[in-house]
């Protein structure tokens, strides 16, 4: 099945230093990131607030100081879990960055198995464990290094990544293999990916929810229940979120007319577009443009 439309096209770092660090401000009115995937692994380190992290069909709650590990190729999303603003640092890194050209002990026992998913880090690392505290501290140091970029900071970043693997191994917390879904969850994931693929391919044009349901051989009612049970939002809410995300970027980065942008992202009614936009950002599109282009 082709799920390429869910794949994130962002380059995280570059070929010489394949790590990207992102400061994410999430709240119910203007912040979350929808389902996507990439070839790199990712650490989500929660600084403030509580979030729900979705990985494939499973949901994980994380609060201040906790870290969620997402392996290469896993579909994931992150949502705020309360009304307060959440601050999350995301570290997106190719595990090949740690590889050596020589098949030494480190490479054969730890790095290659991590890259090949024969070994994996724990999913959620809490502050109640020594390992969780150490990894949180190492990630915080990586954040400082990436933000300040002292000479040779790349060496320290890479060293900290090795230390994360070391502490996981030393505490017997390198888990064997990627956690397998049950046959039922695998079927659900297949159907979800197919539905999301359809939405991503068509959200800029008129979409009928019944057509998405037909794409995965479900009735309209069954599909709506199925989608909301996994995504925690209705199909219409998910489609509107995609459209508003795209529209907000176009409004921020261009001087095109609001009506033109609304039509381009799939809204055929300007009043409805403004209503949905205002619900998300607590301001009109014009007010949003003025605020972000100051």
Is 80 exceeded by the pLDDT of residue 12? Answer: no
pLDDT in tens, 50-78: 999 988 878 899 999 999 999 998 888 88
Provide CB contacts within 8 A for 206, sequence distance 6+: 266, 268
200 in the same domain as 215: yes
Look up the domain containing 277 and give its range: 235-294
* Of 285, 239, 246, 288, nearest in space to 264 by CA: 246
240 in the same domain as 228: no
Give this prediction's pTM: 0.70
pLDDT band of residue 178 (cuts 50, 70, 90) is low
191 in the same domain as 65: no
157 in the same domain as 38: yes
109 in the same domain as 35: yes
61 in the same domain as 125: yes
152 in the same domain as 97: yes
Instruction: Give the domain CATH number at 259.
Output: 1.10.10.60
122 in the same domain as 13: yes
Final residue of a domain: which of 158, 176, 194?
176
19 in the same domain as 146: yes
pLDDT in tens, 186-243: 788 788 878 988 998 899 999 999 999 999 999 999 999 999 888 778 999 989 988 9
Q: Using CA atoms, how far apart are residues 162 and 156, in angstroms rounded to an integer?
A: 10
Q: Using CA atoms, how far apart are residues 75 and 159, in angstroms rounded to an integer?
A: 28
Provide the pLDDT for residue 75: 83
Provide CB contacts within 8 A for 91, sequence distance 6+: 19, 20, 21, 42, 43, 45, 139, 142, 143
Provide the pLDDT for residue 6: 43
Provide the pLDDT for residue 14: 75
215 in the same domain as 156: no
Is 60 exceeded by the pLDDT of residue 5? Answer: no
275 in the same domain as 211: no
Phi-psi domain of 26 (left: phi exceeds 0; alpha: psi -120 through 50; beta: other): beta
223 in the same domain as 139: no
Q: Using CA atoms, how far apart are residues 214 and 148, in angstroms rounded to an integer?
A: 51
Provide CB contacts within 8 A for 120, sequence distance 6+: 69, 71, 114, 174, 175, 177, 178, 179
The number of folded domains in the chain is 3
The b/e string for 13-51 (b: 16+ C-beta within 10 A; e otherwise) is beeebbbbbeebebbeebbbbbbbbbebbbbbbbeebeb
Instruction: Give the domain CATH number at 165.
Output: 2.60.120.10
């Amino acid at each position: 099945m082709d799920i390429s439309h869910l794949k994130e096209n962002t380059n995280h770092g570059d070929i010489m230093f394949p790590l990207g660090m992102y400061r994410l401000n999430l709240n119910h009115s203007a912040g979350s990131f929808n389902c996507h995937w990439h070839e790199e692994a990712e650490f989500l380190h929660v600084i403030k607030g509580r979030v729900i992290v979705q990985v494939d069909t499973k949901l994980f709650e994380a609060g201040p100081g906790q870290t969620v590990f997402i392996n290469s190729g896993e579909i994931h999303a992150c949502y705020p879990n309360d009304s307060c603003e959440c601050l999350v640092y995301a570290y997106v890194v190719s595990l090949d960055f740690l590889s050596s050209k020589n098949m030494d002990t480190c490479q054969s026992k730890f790095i290659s198995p991590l890259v090949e998913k024969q070994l994996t880090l724990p999913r959620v690392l809490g502050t109640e464990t020594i390992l969780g505290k150490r990894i949180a501290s190492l990630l915080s140091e990586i954040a400082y290094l990436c933000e300040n970029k002292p000479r040779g900071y790349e060496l320290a970043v890479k060293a900290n990544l090795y230390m994360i693997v070391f502490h996981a191994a030393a505490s017997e917390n390198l888990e064997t293999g990627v956690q397998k879904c049950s046959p039922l969850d695998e079927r659900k994931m297949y159907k979800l990916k197919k539905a999301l693929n359809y939405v991503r391919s068509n959200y800029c044009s008129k979409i009928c929810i019944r057509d998405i349901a037909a794409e995965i051989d479900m009735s309209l009612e069954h599909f709506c229940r199925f989608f909301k049970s996994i995504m925690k939002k209705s199909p219409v809410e998910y489609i509107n979120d995609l459209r508003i995300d795209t529209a907000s970027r176009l409004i921020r980065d261009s001087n095109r007319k609001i009506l033109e942008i609304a039509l381009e992202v799939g809204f055929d009614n300007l009043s409805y577009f403004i209503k949905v936009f205002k619900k998300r950002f607590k301001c009109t599109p014009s007010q949003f443009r003025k605020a972000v282009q100051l």
